[in-house]
Amino acid sequence: MVQRLHLVFGGELIDPQKNRFKNVEDIHIVGMFPNYETAYNAWKSEAQRTVDNAHMRYFIAHLHRLRDEEAQASPTEELG
């Protein structure tokens, strides 16, 4: 079975209309999750916890989409 990893993270944005963090060093890494359902539950918990701050945003990154084992390796990967 294929693993579908999801990363939940968030932090304070410069402008609530854009997805640019105020300070990258302060990004809150909630965790990595084995499926979308558990990632969504973690995202929802953090989003609700920070609902009073319009500049705080949490995201779910679909890590399994970043790496396609069938695709040819990038030139950067081949440098190693």
51: CATH = 3.30.70.2400
Residue 25's pLDDT is 96
Q: Give the integer Cα–Cα distance in Å for 65 and 79.
A: 22
Stated pTM of the model: 0.77
Domain annotation covers residue 1: no
In order along its 80 residues, the chain shows pLDDT tens digits of 677 899 999 999 999 999 999 999 999 999 999 999 999 999 999 999 999 999 999 999 998 777 666 666 555 444 44
Identify whether 59 is part of a domain: yes
- Cβ-Cβ contacts under 8 Å for 43 (sequence gap 6 or more): 8, 30, 58, 59, 60
Residue 13 forms part of a structural domain: yes
Q: Which domain holds residue 16?
A: 6-79
End-to-end alpha carbon distance in the chain: 29
Number of structural domains in the chain? 1
